[in-house]
Amino acid sequence: MCGILAVLGCRENSHSKRSRIIELSRRLRHRGPDWSGLHCYQDCYLAHQRLAIVDPTSGDQPLYNEDKTIAVTVNGEIYNHEELRGKLKSHQFRTGSDCEVIAHLYEEYGEEFVDMLDGMFSFVLLDTRDKSFIAARDAIGITPLYMGWGLDGSIWFASEMKALSDDCERFTTFLPGHIYSSKHGELRRWYNPPWYSEHIPSTPYNPLILREAFEKAVVKRLMTDVPFGVLLSGGLDSSLVAAVASRHLAETKVGRQWGSQLHTFCVGLEGSPDLKAAREVADYLGTFHHEFHFTVQEGIDAIEEVIYHIETYDVTTVRASTPMFLMSRKIKSLGVKMVLSGEGSDEIFGGYLYFHKAPNKEELHLETCRKIKALHLYDCLRANKSTSAWGLEARVPFLDKNFLNIAMDMDPEWKMVKRDLGRIEKWVLRNAFDDDQNPYLPKHILYRQKEQFSDGVGYSWIDGLKDHANQQVSDSMLMNASFIYPENTPMTKEAYYYRTIFERFFPKNAARSTVPGGPSVACSTAKALEWDAAWLKNPDPSGRAALGVHDAAYKESAVEHPQADSATSTIGLPQKLQVVTEATATAV
């Protein structure tokens, strides 16, 4: 994952300005430690920090068209670049980079080419022929992008706000699925699938179509010229990613630069649920598994650095980002530069606990739409910035554009939790990969209940964070929080602690406004409260806040299966009796 910075229309065009752009671009070097590039044209600058994944030898950026009248700086991957090159046979390519197609597509098709791209990306393109420019971000916002404005009339774009927060009077998050054109002077949405309008779909559920679409999504993300692996927590989503990738590698020669086995990675406290579950999946798939441990104190010691990199004070995001941040450093030390991860599945298929309370398919579908549209503020932000902090790229097959369109065009009746019919959360996904003849995963893994990532790494992790925050924040500090932080007032000592760290790094009003609002309490999603008022009693965004619901369901299962021990997990119970134990991980 690279780092980009673009400054367009500076009043000052001097050596000192160039030096300042280089200095600010260096703040993104963690995202791209392999090479730096800078293109200057009059009062416009395009800077780039490269993480070389595809064509490491010749794909340095910025990239150009044939006569260099068009320059582009890109963060991301274009998975269909070979297909697009086939449509550009009259153009001469200088590199083997997947991102070079952007310059030539613009030259051939104008600004409307963005929807032709299949991938994750943020880019800024400068057309020196008329000094116009465009900036665009991928459909869901997998890659980050910020937009800012200087007092001198300049417009800024950057992968992280730390590169523009000091020099811009105002800045904001660049919306996913949007394009900014200097010719029009405004943002417009280029991504317009049917589900985005919240139309209720009616296409029947076809497990084979869903499975094939996901397999293609995983396989296309194996496009790499460097060592790679899969982040494996042992839950359903990451296990399916690993199963598909492992099966593909066994049948092809893709990715053999680092041996014939798929490498998988997991992080947790000693004895954590994730470590145990991931080891079981890895053993079944036959992957080369790497297990990383951290202590609560090591996590606490990293909190400040984590918040600096992820640029948010959202409680759940900070909790989950810290283990991922620590794991990414370990992974990079092994020489790995790219990993696949399982973000997005819960939002698409209604995997969070409160979806059990959805009153009908219409409400469920509308809520999945809202949650997908907010992913760039939560899970996508965490997955991208936690890994990019160490020059590691995370790819997310569940957010593949084609797979997403198929999954969201399905009649949402099939996504409803109906325990009397044996349908637990994400049943449509589980069922699609339930193949008795050629199993992807064992049954008890395929139908395993979900753990929230920050819980799965070890339950004492959250307890340790709370204890530390209680030592740092006094009762009087929290009592006066509304005066200190009138916008997005923290409601707990933990939230207050994260907010103080964030404010030290990013003190401007514009910075705090990039973080989604609302009290930092569990299940503050409006729909969770509307569907079941009991959610008001949840004191914490941790999955454990939902254990009351889980315990009730487990007691029911124990009646039918007296041999089950209530102190154990639900692994191995019949499919219809397993329930999710996770509260919503994000507040929308």
Give catalytic residues, as residue numbers. 2
Minimal CA–CA distance to 162: which of 64, 305, 335?
305
CB 504 within 8 A of CB 307: no
Minimal CA–CA distance to 262: which of 244, 280, 277, 274?
244
CB 171 within 8 A of CB 161: yes
**Helix residue ranges per DSSP H, 415-456:** 427-432, 443-446, 453-456
Q: Give the integer Cα–Cα distance in Å for 570 and 493.
A: 33
What are the tokens at 144?
């980050």
Q: Give the integer Cα–Cα distance in Å for 458 and 452.
A: 10
CB 287 within 8 A of CB 242: yes
CA 196 from chain centre, in angstroms, equals 19
Q: Give the integer Cα–Cα distance in Å for 59 and 94.
A: 9
Rg (CA), the chain: 23
CB 415 within 8 A of CB 364: yes
Q: Give the integer Cα–Cα distance in Å for 10 and 148.
A: 13
The DSSP string of 471-500 is HHS-HHHHHTHHHH--SS---SHHHHHHHH
| Virtual torsion, Cα 273, 560, 580, 351, nearest 10 deg | 130
What are the tokens at 544?
């454990």
Q: Give the integer Cα–Cα distance in Å for 112 and 556.
A: 56
What are the tokens at 429?
């996904």
Place of tokens 């029911």: 556
Q: Give the integer Cα–Cα distance in Å for 513 and 12.
A: 29
Q: What is the DSSP letter of 258?
A: T
